[in-house]
Structure 1
Amino acid sequence: MPPHGFTVGQSVEFVPGRFDGAAPRGTYTVLRQLPNDSSDREYRVRSIHDGHERVVRESQIRGSVAPGI
Structure 2
Amino acid sequence: MAKHKFAVGDRVALLHNSSNINVRPGVYTIVRAMPVTSQGCQYRAKNTMDNHERVFDEVQLREA
User: TM-score scaled to structure 1, two decimals?
Assistant: 0.84
Q: Percent identity?
A: 34
What are the residue-to-residue correspondences of 1:30-69 with 2, within 5 Å? Answer: 30-38=30-38, 40-64=40-64
Question: For structure 1, which runs of at least 5 residues remain unmatched after alignment?
Answer: 65-69
Structure with greater proportional helix content: 2
Give the C-alpha shift of residue 38 in structure 1. Answer: 2.5
RMSD of the TM alignment (CA)? 1.2
Select the structure of larger CA radius of gyration: 1
Q: Scaled by the length of structure 2, what TM-score is found?
A: 0.90
C-alpha displacement of 1:7 = 0.3
Structure 1: distance between partners of 2:16 and 2:56: 9
